Amino acid sequence: MSASVPFTSEQRAAIEHAGGLLLTANAGSGKTSVMAERFVRAVLHEGVEVTRILAITFTEKAASELKERVRRRFEALGEPERARATEGAWVSTIHGFCARLLRTHPLAAGIDPRFSVLDEHGARQLAVGAFDAALDALAEEHGTAALELIAAYRPADLRSAILDVHGELRSRGEEQPSLPQPRPAALEPKRVALAIARVQAEAEVAVARDGRSVFRARLALAECERLLERVAAASAGDPGYAPSPGEVARLALPRNGRALAGEGCEGYRTALQAYVDACADAHAVPVHGLLDALLRGFGRRYAEAKQRASAVDFEDLELRANRLLREHEELRARYAERFVHVMVDEFQDTNPLQLELLERIAGERLFTVGDELQSIYGFRHADVELFRRRRKALAEHGAAASLATNFRSHAEILETLNVAFAPRFGESFTPLVAGREERADALPVAGPRVELLVVDVRADWANAGLLPEGMAAPAPLWRVAEARALAARVRELLDGGRRAGDVVLLLRATGDLAVYERALTDLAVPTYVIGGRGYWAQQQVRDLVAYLGVLANPRDGVALQSLLASPLVGLSSDGLVQVVAAARASRREGEPPDPWWVLTEGRELLARLAPDDAERVEELRAWLPAERATAPRHSLESLLDRVLDQTGYDVELLRLPSGARRLANVRKLMRLAREFEAEEGRDLRGFVDMVMELGGGLESSREQDRESEAPVEGEALDAVRLMTIHRAKGLEFPVVCVADLGRGSPAAGSDVVRVGRDGRVGIKLKTLDGSAPRPALAYRPIGEARARAESDEEARLYYVAMTRAREQLILSGAVPTEPWPEPKLGAPAITWIGPAFVPEIARLAAPDGEPSGVVSNEGQAVAYSVVRPGAAALAPSLAGSEGDRGRVLSHARERTPAGRRAHVRARATRPIGDGGGTAPPVATLSYTSLADHARCGYRFYLERVLRLPPVDDAPRGRGGRHGLAASTRGVIAHALLEQVDFVRAQPPDAELVRRAAVRAGADPTAEELDEIRGLVVRFLASPLRERLASARDLRREQAFSFALDELPLVGVFDAIAREGNRTLIVDWKSDRLEGADPGETVARAYGLQRAAYALAALRDDAQEVEVVHCFLERPDAPVGATFRRQDAPALEDELRSRAQRVIERDFAVAEDPQPRVCDGCPGRGTLCSWPLERTFGVPEGRLL
C-alpha cells in the first residue's frame, strides 16, 4: 500500500492487528482514518471481498463518511473496481444492519417484508394511543385501586414513566417488558426493633429535664406505643398489615436539645426510619402490581398497533434481529462465516442488546473503537460498563490498545484539558498528546487559548438594565447577563478577524438557547441554530404556525394572540390588552370570552384601540375571515404562500440580517406542509398538531433535539453555530464556546418507577392523603447509583464539548461567587469546572477579589473574567459605538409588521444621547415605576428614561441579609401559588418547590426551601384561600392596562375572582415583616398599588372591588380595602397626580437620600447633587 497517507506507530499497530481488538481512541486521534485503512488493508492484503466486511457506525452520517473514505482510498491506490464495490458494502448503523437483515429473511423473522421503520414522532403517536387504551383498561379491570393510582400519579406522569421503563427494559433484551418482582423489607422484625428502641428511648427521656422538646418527645413515644399496640392487634388477623408510612414518620423525635441526643434516642430514630421504610415497601407492593399491569397492557397494545401499521420501531429492529439469529443457528452461522471482519465505531455508546447481537456474528473477531470518556448517551440506554468490562477482559490477552495523539487541537488547549480533567476522571483518563503541525499562516491568538467567564448569580441583575422597560425576562436575569457577556466576547473575536463560521456555541440543553442567540444577534453576529428547538423556535416559523393554527381554530387563544402580536398583523401590546378586555366585556352569560368574534365582528373594539391598531384590525377584517372560509379549498403549501403574498412578510424577511436564511426557514415549512399533505391528505388541523408536537408548542421550552434551521442553498453559511453538545459529537471548530455551565444537573428523584440493572425495582410512593411522596423498595439506592452515573456522564459530556476546539476554548457559566459553592452530586458543572481550570477561582471571583486576569494552572495559562452589573459587555446598546447602536436597533425591527401591507414600526430603543437634550417620557407606567419616581425623580430619569444601568457600589462589609434574595424568594412563592389548586389545597411537595427554585435560577438551601413551602402551606390553611376556592372566574397572573392621561398604566394581578357582584383582587407579599404590622406596612409601601388595582377593576366595569394584600408570613391577617364606582374619580386623581409629574418631566432629586434609595444608582458620586456621605448614610468625612 502507498505511504502517501502517514500513520503514527500506534495507528499502524491498530490497523495491522490480527483478530479482535478494543481500541481506545482519544478525541481527535484519527479513528475514522484507522477504520478506513483497516478496511482497505483487509481487502488488499488479505484478499477479503468488500461485501465480507461489516462496519457499524453510530450515525448514518458517520457511515456515509466511512464509506466515502474507503472509496477514495481505493481510488488513490488504483483500485477502481473495489472503489465501485463499496456502494454495496455493509457499512451502516446498527439499525440499518438490522433492517437489512430482517428484509432479507422476513419469513424466518415472522415480519411483513414491506415493513416500515417508525421515526421518533411516528412511534410516539402509536405509543400514546396504546398507553391511553391501557390506562382505560386498567381502570376498568381494577376499579377504585386503579382510579386512586391515576389520581395520585396523574396520567401524564404515568405515561412518561411507563414509556421510559418500557424502552429501558427493551434495550436490555426484554421483548415483553414487565417489572421485576418487588423485594419488600420484612415488617415484623422492624416492628419488634422499633418497640425495643422505643422502650430504651422512653427510659432516657424520662430522666431528662423538662422542656418543650422533651415534652414533644414524650408525646411522640407515647403515641408510638399506641400505634404499635394497634399494629399488633391488626396483624393478628392480617399478617401483612402496615400503617401508613406518613403516620409512622410523624412519630419522630425533635432533634434540638442535648437531652435528645443520647444513644437511646438515636437508636429510636434509626429503628423508626427502618419501620417507615418497611411500611412504605408494604404499601408500594400493590402499587407495583398496578404499574406492572399497566406496563404489560401498554406493551401488548403498542405491539398490536405496530403490527396493524406493518411497522417497527428502532428497538424492534434490534430485538427481532437478535431473536432471528438466536432461534436460527444455521442463519447465524452463515452470517458469522460471511463476515471475516466486524468493526464497530463509538463502542462506548452500545447497549447490552446491541453487543449481544454483534457477538453472535463476530465472536472473537470483533474490532471495536471508542473512548470511555466520550460516552454520553446514557439517556438512550447506552451502558459504558460494557466498554470497561470488554477492555479489561481483552487487555489480559493483549487485545486492547489506544490512540492518544490528538491531531485536532492546539497543544496549549490539550495541556490545559489534561490538567483539568485528569483529577476528575482518575485512572480511566488517557492524557491527550499533541500531534498536529502548526501552520505559519494561522490566525494569531492574543492571550491564553483557554478562557473562563464567570457571572455572579447573586449580583443585583434586576436593576442592571439588562432588558427594556416592561419586557418580560426570557430566562433568569443572570443567564441573560451571561449570554450578553459571552456574545460580547464573540463579537470581539469577529472584530479581531475571526469568521463567524469559525465559532460554535455549545450547550447541554436547549431550553435557553434562544437567549444566547438573541444576545448574539443584538450585536449583529449572524447565527445558525442546529437541532434542539432551533428551527421550530425561529420567529418566522412560529409566526406562520400561529397563522395556520388560527385558520384551523380561530378560538385557539394562544395561536390567535401569537398571530396578532406577529408582524403578520402587528398589534401593539396595548392593542392586545384591549382585544382581551373587549372580549370579556362582550361575552355572553355562561360562555367564555371570544376574541375572534370581537376582532372580526365586534363594533366597540375599534373605539378602544389607538389609531394604528384600529387600522391593523380593519385590514385584518378585510382578508383573514375570507381566507379562513376558503382554506379547505387550498393546499397547505398554498395557504402559506397566500399569506406571504397578502402581507409581504417574505419581502421584509429579506431586508433583515440573515434574511436569506430566514426566508429559507419559511420555504422549509412550506416543503414540510407539502410532504405532510402527500402522506396524510389535506388535513390542516393534523399538520398544525404535528408541528406543535415536534416543536413543543408555541409556548413550550422542551429540551429535545429536533429540526435544524433550513440551510441556504448555494452559499457557504458564515454564521456562529448554536447547538447541543450531543449534536457536536464528531465535529470540530476553530473556536468553541461552552456556555451555561451554571445550569443545574438534571433532576433526579422525579421518576415514578426505577428498574436497576441487578433486577431490583423501586417506586416513588404517592398517596391521596396529602403526605409527601416517599421512596419505597429499592428506589433510593437505584437513584443514588443513577445520580452518580449521570454526574459522571455530565463530566464526559463537557469533556466532549471542550475537545471540539482547535484554536480557542471559551467556558462560561453563572454561579454564586460568595462563597464559591462546594462541588457535589447534582451541583452545576461550573462548581468543579471553575476550580479545575482556575484553581483559585473562589478567591478571585469573590466581590473583593480580582475580577479578571490570567493565572497559571500547573504551567498552563488560563484567562478568567468575573462579570457583575456595570460591566461594559452587558450594555452594548448604551456603551457601544454608533455602529453597535445601529446593529441593536436593526434587530429591534424584526418583530414589527412588514412589507407591502404590513406596517414597519421600530420599537423605542433609546441609547444615551438619542433624543436631543430633553429626556423623552417613558412608554408606559406601572405602580412600581410611580413608586420609584416618588422615592427619587432623578434616579427614575437616569434609569428609566436614559436607561443607565445600575451599579454595584455598596460598601463592603455593610450588614445585609445573605442567602436567597428577597425578590427570588417572592418569585418562587408566587410560582407555587400560581400552580396550586385552591379547592383541593394540597401543599406542594419538596420536589415541586425545588423545581420552582431552579426555574427561578436559584439554588436555595434546604432550610430556605422549607421556609418557602411553609409560606404556601400557611396560605392554604387560611380563610382567604377558602374565599378564592369558592369564588367564580378565578384568574391568576392576570395582566391589565388602562390609559392614564397620556400614558398607559400596566400591571398584573396575582389573583382576581368574583364573589357575587364584588370583584376580589389578591396580592401576595413575601416580604419579611420582622414584627411590623401588616396594615401599617400596606399603608406605607403599597397604597399606590392598591389604588392602581382598584381603578383597573373599576375601569373594567366592576361594581365593587376589594383589594386584599396577603403577607404570606401572616396569611391570618390579610389587609383589605373596598372601593366602589363612586371612588373611581378619587383614585384617578391620586394616580394622575403621580403620573403628571412624569409627563411634565419633574425629575427632582430625593429630598432625603438614604442607602435604600441610593444604593446602585448610576448617578451616585457623579451626576447626583448630593454628596457621597449623604447617599451612603455616613457622617461627613467618614466615608472611607
Residues 998, 1115: Cα–Cα separation, whole Å: 26
C-beta separation of 35 from 55 below 8 A: yes
C-beta separation of 813 from 1003 below 8 A: no
Residues 911, 947: Cα–Cα separation, whole Å: 8
C-beta separation of 279 from 245 below 8 A: yes
The answer on pLDDT for 371 being more than 60 is yes
C-beta separation of 1117 from 1073 below 8 A: no
Residue 131 vs residue 1000, higher pLDDT: 131
The pLDDT score that the predictor gives to residue 1055 is 94
Residues 413, 411: Cα–Cα separation, whole Å: 5
Around Cβ 209, how many Cβ atoms within 10 Å?
8
Pick the range with the lowest mean pLDDT from 613-617, 802-806, 1091-1095.
Answer: 613-617
Around Cβ 699, how many Cβ atoms within 10 Å?
9
The pLDDT score that the predictor gives to residue 714 is 32
Average pLDDT over residues 788-809: 94
Q: Which of 359-368, 507-516, 666-675 has the highest mean pLDDT?
A: 359-368
Buried b or exposed e, range 40-75, using 16+ CB within 10 angstroms: bbbbeeeebebebbbbbbbeeebbebbbebbbebbe
Around Cβ 103, how many Cβ atoms within 10 Å?
13
The answer on pLDDT for 220 being more than 60 is yes
Give the CA radius of gyration of the chain. Answer: 33
Angle at 974 between CA 971 and CA 975, to 5 degrees: 85
Say whether 534-695 and 450-526+718-745+789-873 share the same fold: no
Pick the range with the lowest mean pLDDT from 362-371, 386-395, 836-845, 1171-1180.
Answer: 1171-1180
> Is 30 known to sit in a ligand binding site?
yes
In sequence order, what DSSP letters do the residues of 690-751 get, joined into one string? HHHHHHT-TT-------PPPPP-TTS---SEEEEEHHHHTT--EEEEEE--TTSPPPP-S--
The pLDDT score that the predictor gives to residue 1166 is 55
Residues 715, 231: Cα–Cα separation, whole Å: 77
The pLDDT score that the predictor gives to residue 836 is 96
> Is 805 known to sit in a ligand binding site?
no
> Is 28 known to sit in a ligand binding site?
yes
The separation between CA 573 and the C-alpha centre of its own chain, rounded to angstroms, equals 27
Residues 453, 537: Cα–Cα separation, whole Å: 27
Residues 664, 671: Cα–Cα separation, whole Å: 10
The pLDDT score that the predictor gives to residue 921 is 57
Residues 166, 901: Cα–Cα separation, whole Å: 53
Average pLDDT over residues 963-983: 83
The pLDDT score that the predictor gives to residue 990 is 85
Q: Cell match 398607559: residue?
A: 1048
Residue 456's pLDDT band (boundaries 50, 70, 90)? very high
The answer on pLDDT for 269 being more than 70 is yes
Residue 1165's pLDDT band (boundaries 50, 70, 90)? low
Buried b or exposed e, range 268-303, using 16+ CB within 10 angstroms: bbebbebbbbbbbbbbbbebbebbbbbbbbbbebbb
Residues 135, 297: Cα–Cα separation, whole Å: 8
Around Cβ 826, how many Cβ atoms within 10 Å?
14
> Is 378 known to sit in a ligand binding site?
no
Instruction: Report residue 450 as a C-alpha cell.
Output: 483557554
The separation between CA 208 and the C-alpha centre of its own chain, rounded to angstroms, equals 52
Q: Tell me the pLDDT tens digit for each residue of 169-191.
A: 999 989 999 999 999 999 999 99
The pLDDT score that the predictor gives to residue 876 is 45
Q: Cell match 413550550: residue?
A: 700
| Local structure of 523: helix, strand or coil | coil
C-beta separation of 55 from 361 below 8 A: no
First and final C-alpha spacing in the chain: 79
Side-chain-side CA neighbours of 86 within 13 Å: the count stands at 22
> Long-range contacts: 395-402, Cβ < 8 Å, 24+?
395/22, 399/17, 399/19, 399/20, 399/21, 399/22, 400/21, 400/22, 400/23, 400/24, 401/10, 401/13, 401/14, 401/17, 401/21, 401/22, 401/23, 401/24, 402/10, 402/23, 402/24, 402/25, 402/26, 402/430
| Local structure of 1109: helix, strand or coil | strand
Q: Which fold is adopted by the domain 534-695?
A: PCRA; domain 4 (1.10.486)
The pLDDT score that the predictor gives to residue 693 is 66
Domain map (residue ranges) of the chain: 9-116+315-407, 119-308, 450-526+718-745+789-873, 534-695
Residues 815, 805: Cα–Cα separation, whole Å: 24
The pLDDT score that the predictor gives to residue 687 is 85
The pLDDT score that the predictor gives to residue 800 is 96
Buried b or exposed e, range 366-380, using 16+ CB within 10 angstroms: bbbbbbbbbbbbbee
> Is 26 known to sit in a ligand binding site?
yes
Nearest partner of 191 among 151, 153, 233, judged by Cα: 233
> Long-range contacts: 376-382, Cβ < 8 Å, 24+?
376/349, 376/725, 376/726, 376/729, 376/793, 376/796, 376/797, 376/800, 377/349, 377/726, 378/789, 378/790, 378/793, 380/349, 380/351, 381/167, 381/168, 381/171, 381/172, 381/351, 382/348, 382/349, 382/350, 382/351
Residue 958's pLDDT band (boundaries 50, 70, 90)? very low
Average pLDDT over residues 977-1002: 85
The pLDDT score that the predictor gives to residue 922 is 76
Residues 974, 624: Cα–Cα separation, whole Å: 39
**Percent over 70 (pLDDT), the chain:** 88
Q: What are phi and psi of 948, to 5 degrees?
A: -70, 135
Nearest partner of 384 among 111, 930, 790, 737, judged by Cα: 790
Around Cβ 573, how many Cβ atoms within 10 Å?
16
Residues 344, 272: Cα–Cα separation, whole Å: 52
Residue 22's pLDDT band (boundaries 50, 70, 90)? very high
Average pLDDT over residues 803-820: 94
How far CA 1020 is from CA of 153, 586, 1031, in Å, comes to: 21, 34, 15
Number of residues assigned to the chain:
1184
C-beta separation of 1169 from 1180 below 8 A: no
Backbone conformation region of residue 79, classed left if phi is above 0, alpha if psi is from -120 to 50, else beta: beta
The pLDDT score that the predictor gives to residue 286 is 95
Tell me how far apart the 2 most distant CA atoms of the chain are, in Å.
100
Q: What are phi and psi of 1134, to 5 degrees?
A: -65, -45
Residues 195, 26: Cα–Cα separation, whole Å: 59
The answer on pLDDT for 960 being more than 50 is no
Residues 993, 342: Cα–Cα separation, whole Å: 51
Instruction: Report residue 602 as a C-alpha cell.
Output: 365586534
The answer on pLDDT for 73 being more than 70 is yes
Q: Tell me the pLDDT tens digit for each residue of 572-616.
A: 877 887 887 787 777 766 677 788 887 888 777 777 788 888 888
> Is 546 known to sit in a ligand binding site?
no
What does the mean pLDDT of the chain come to?
85
1001 Cβ neighbours under 8 A, 6+ residues apart:
457, 475, 476, 477, 478, 479, 814, 968
The pLDDT score that the predictor gives to residue 900 is 32
Q: Tell me the pLDDT tens digit for each residue of 775-795.
A: 999 999 999 998 899 999 999
Instruction: Report residue 377 as a C-alpha cell.
Output: 448517551
Average pLDDT over residues 633-650: 86
Residues 540, 57: Cα–Cα separation, whole Å: 36
The answer on pLDDT for 537 being more than 70 is no
Pick the range with the lowest mean pLDDT from 265-269, 444-448, 591-595, 928-932.
Answer: 591-595
Average pLDDT over residues 822-834: 91
811 forms beta bridges with 452, 738
Pick the range with the lowest mean pLDDT from 124-138, 413-427, 896-910, 1017-1031.
Answer: 896-910
444 Cβ neighbours under 8 A, 6+ residues apart:
none
Residues 619, 614: Cα–Cα separation, whole Å: 9
The pLDDT score that the predictor gives to residue 895 is 33
C-beta separation of 848 from 956 below 8 A: yes
The answer on pLDDT for 915 being more than 80 is no
> Long-range contacts: 221-224, Cβ < 8 Å, 24+?
221/251, 221/253, 221/268, 223/251, 224/194, 224/198, 224/251, 224/272
The answer on pLDDT for 200 being more than 90 is yes
Side-chain-side CA neighbours of 202 within 13 Å: the count stands at 14
> Is 1060 known to sit in a ligand binding site?
no
The answer on pLDDT for 698 being more than 60 is no
The answer on pLDDT for 104 being more than 90 is yes
The pLDDT score that the predictor gives to residue 313 is 93
Pick the range with the lowest mean pLDDT from 452-461, 857-866, 1039-1048, 1160-1169.
Answer: 1160-1169
The answer on pLDDT for 996 being more than 50 is yes
Instruction: Report residue 297 as a C-alpha cell.
Output: 397492557
Q: What are phi and psi of 973, to 5 degrees?
A: -60, -45
Q: Tell me the pLDDT tens digit for each residue of 378-426.
A: 888 889 999 999 999 999 999 999 999 999 999 999 999 999 999 999 9
> Is 817 known to sit in a ligand binding site?
no
Q: Which of 293-302, 645-654, 1108-1117 has the highest mean pLDDT?
A: 293-302
In sequence order, what DSSP letters do the residues of 837-893 get, joined into one string? HSTTHHHHTSTTS-SEEEEEETTEEEEEEEE-TT-GGG-HHHHS-HHHHHHHHHHHG
The answer on pLDDT for 1183 being more than 50 is no
The pLDDT score that the predictor gives to residue 695 is 61
| Overall CATH class of domain 9-116+315-407 | alpha beta
C-beta separation of 1167 from 942 below 8 A: yes
**Domain 450-526+718-745+789-873 belongs to what architecture?**
3-Layer(aba) Sandwich (3.40)
Pick the range with the lowest mean pLDDT from 20-24, 514-518, 837-841.
Answer: 514-518
Pick the range with the lowest mean pLDDT from 21-30, 435-444, 1025-1034.
Answer: 435-444
The answer on pLDDT for 1101 being more than 60 is yes
Residue 1's pLDDT band (boundaries 50, 70, 90)? low
